[in-house]
């Protein structure tokens, strides 16, 4: 996978808290801290895998970055150009007004988890792909059909499929259509939110290989959100691990899979099936349940399930810091 030293995305101390209501005439009693201080960067042409258990906040983080949800606090900066032939510059997504944000949305797209629910069943594939081209004025009317055909070819579909409706396709084909729709506006950043979790294994491999080929061709930056560490290892350059709204570890993928530092990452990796059934791995079974994000525990958020937790872990919040060679971890025990 090609990478550039040029930064594409910068996320700093991102928070998204949802108020929990206390009744019809009462103020909310608490806040659900879905994302609670997330920071990372993404280079142009790079894939960052964002992993964690269901409910850890990774999908919410992706949607807040795109401003599909408004943030509680923090900043997200995208380095890109708003118009063709303009130089790239940093844009603070959360401070942009509506019209400028509409221009910026060309450069940041999302591929959703459900390849059927994300497509309008009343629109043909051609109409679905022409819509973003028309909205962003990217092609004259007489060239729209040619652009649609090019997009379908790019994702491995027959241009004749433009006349069909989403229900006429398999799950893998529908996900290819979703990818084609994201590519239509020529973005630089794509947030892929569990894009293969609803597909069978053979189709997963096809979609992953397609995403890698498109990244190489168009120098795309991916934020790849998933709970499947096997898939993340195959597509990512770096991996960030989330737990209870926070990033607890991030590193280059080979380094993280070879030598995880955080006990939570160790437990996740121990659950990944090995391709050789004769091999065995020491399975780390975590005790207890994931804490309530509306009432997180004091100190390290993982200490209630950590097999190595000490007294310090119960009172002091660990800082995500470099433990050497760019390997970041938030753990007092490392």
Candidate from 77-81, 172-176, 233-237, 293-297 with smallest mean pLDDT: 293-297
What mean pLDDT do residues 250-266 have? 95
pLDDT at residue 4, as a whole number: 59
pLDDT band at 294 (very low <50, low <70, confident <90, very high): confident
Would the pLDDT of 2 be above 60? no
Residue 312, domain member (yes or no): no
> Average of pLDDT values for 83-99?
89
What percent of the chain is helix, strand and coil (3-state, nearest 5)? Answer: 35, 25, 45
- Position 276 scores a pLDDT of 63
Note down the domain range covering 173.
Answer: 7-259
By DSSP bridging, strand 47-51 and strand 221-226 are parallel
Q: Please, what is the average pLDDT of the chain?
A: 91
Q: Is the pLDDT of residue 138 over 80?
A: yes
**CA–CA separation, 241 vs 289, rounded Å?**
18
Residue 296 within a domain:
no
Q: Which helix (H) or strand (E) holds 222?
A: strand 221-226
- Low-confidence winner among 138-152, 189-203, 231-245, 276-290 (lowest mean pLDDT): 276-290
More confident residue, 117 or 312: 312
Which residues partner with 92 through β-bridges? 77
> What is the average pLDDT across 170-178?
94
Directed axis angle between helix 171-183 and helix 125-135, to 10°? 20
Average pLDDT over residues 6-10: 95
Q: Find the range with the poorest average confidence among 54-58, 185-189, 272-276, 330-334.
A: 272-276
pLDDT of residue 279: 65
Question: CA-CA distance, 136 to 184, in Å (whole number)?
Answer: 10
Report the SS3 class of residue 270.
Answer: helix
Kindly indicate the confidence band of residue 59, based on its pLDDT and cuts at 50, 70 and 90: very high
Domain assignment present for residue 274? The answer is no
Half-sphere exposure of 122 (CA within 13 A, CB side): 0
- Is pLDDT above 70 for 112? yes
Q: Check whether 23 has a pLDDT greater than 80.
A: no
Interval 260-281: pLDDT, tens: 999 999 999 988 776 666 666 6
Question: What's the pLDDT at 133?
Answer: 94
Radius of gyration of the chain (CA): 21
| In-domain check, residue 224 | yes
161, containing H or E segment: none
We report the CATH number of the domain holding residue 234 as 3.40.50.300
Q: Does the residue 302 lie in any domain?
A: no
Q: Specify if 330 maps to a domain.
A: no
- Half-sphere exposure (CA, 13 Å, Cβ side) for 199? 25
Percent of the chain past pLDDT 90, that is, above it, reads 74
Q: Is 273 part of any domain?
A: no
Alpha carbons within 13 angstroms on the beta-carbon side of residue 151 total 28
pLDDT at residue 85, rounded to an integer:
78
Token pair of 34 as six digits: 């879905």
The band of 326, judged by pLDDT with boundaries at 50, 70 and 90, is very high
Percentage of residues of the chain with pLDDT beyond 70: 94
Do the bridges between strand 89-92 and strand 108-111 make them parallel or antiparallel, or are there none, so unpaired? unpaired
For 206, phi then psi, to 5°, come to -65, -45
CA distance 258 to 221: 24
Place of tokens 């928070």: 15
**CB neighbour list of residue 288: distance below 8 Å, 6 or more residues apart:** 304, 305
Given pLDDT bands bounded at 50, 70 and 90, which one contains residue 25? low
What pLDDT, on the 0 to 100 scale, is given for residue 3?
A: 59
**pLDDT at residue 28, rounded to an integer:** 60
What per-residue confidence (pLDDT) applies to 24?
Answer: 61
213 Cβ contact list (under 8 Å, min separation 6): none
- Cα end-to-end distance, the chain, whole Å: 31
pTM of the model: 0.92
pLDDT surpassing 60 at residue 1: no
How many folded domains does the chain comprise? 1
pLDDT (0 to 100) of residue 285: 75
Q: How far apart are CA 190 and CA 103, in angstroms?
A: 16
Output 61 or 115, whichever has higher pLDDT: 61
Residue 320 lies in a domain: no
Q: What is the pLDDT of residue 86?
A: 83
CA 236/CA 313 separation, integer angstroms: 31
CB contact set of 107 (below 8 Å; sequence gap of 6+): 78, 80, 81, 82, 187, 188, 189
| The predicted structure's pLDDT at residue 100 | 92
């Amino acid at each position: 996978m090609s990478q550039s030293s040029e930064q594409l995305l910068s996320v700093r101390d991102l928070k998204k808290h949802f108020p929990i209501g206390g009744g019809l005439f009462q103020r909310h009693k608490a806040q659900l801290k879905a994302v609670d201080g997330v920071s990372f960067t993404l280079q142009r042409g790079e894939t960052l895998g964002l992993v964690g258990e269901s409910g850890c906040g990774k999908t919410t983080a992706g949607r807040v970055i795109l401003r599909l949800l408004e943030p509680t606090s923090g900043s997200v900066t995208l380095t890109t150009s708003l118009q063709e032939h303009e130089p790239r510059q940093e844009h603070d997504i959360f401070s942009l007004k509506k019209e400028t944000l509409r221009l910026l949305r060309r450069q940041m797209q999302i591929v959703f988890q459900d390849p059927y629910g994300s497509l309008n069943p009343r629109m043909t594939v051609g109409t679905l792909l022409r819509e973003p081209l028309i909205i962003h004025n990217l092609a004259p009317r007489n060239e729209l059909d040619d652009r649609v055909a090019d997009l379908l070819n790019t994702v491995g579909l027959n241009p004749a499929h433009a006349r069909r409706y989403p229900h006429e396709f398999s799950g893998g084909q529908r996900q290819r259509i979703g990818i084609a729709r994201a590519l239509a506006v020529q973005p630089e950043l794509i947030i892929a939110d569990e894009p293969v979790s609803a597909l069978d294994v053979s189709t997963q491999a096809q979609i992953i290989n397609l995403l890698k080929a498109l990244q190489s061709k168009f120098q795309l930056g991916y934020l790849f959100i998933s709970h499947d560490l096997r898939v993340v290892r195959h597509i990512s350059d770096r991996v960030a691990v989330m737990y209870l709204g926070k990033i607890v570890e991030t590193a280059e993928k080979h380094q993280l899979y070879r030598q995880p530092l955080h006990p939570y990452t160790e437990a996740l990796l121990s659950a990944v099936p090995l391709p050789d059934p004769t091999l065995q791995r020491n399975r780390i079974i975590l005790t207890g349940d994931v804490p309530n994000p509306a009432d997180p525990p004091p100190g390290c958020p993982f200490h209630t399930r950590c097999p190595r937790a000490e007294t310090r872990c119960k009172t002091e919040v660990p800082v995500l810091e470099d433990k050497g060679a760019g390997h970041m971890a938030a753990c007092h025990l490392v």
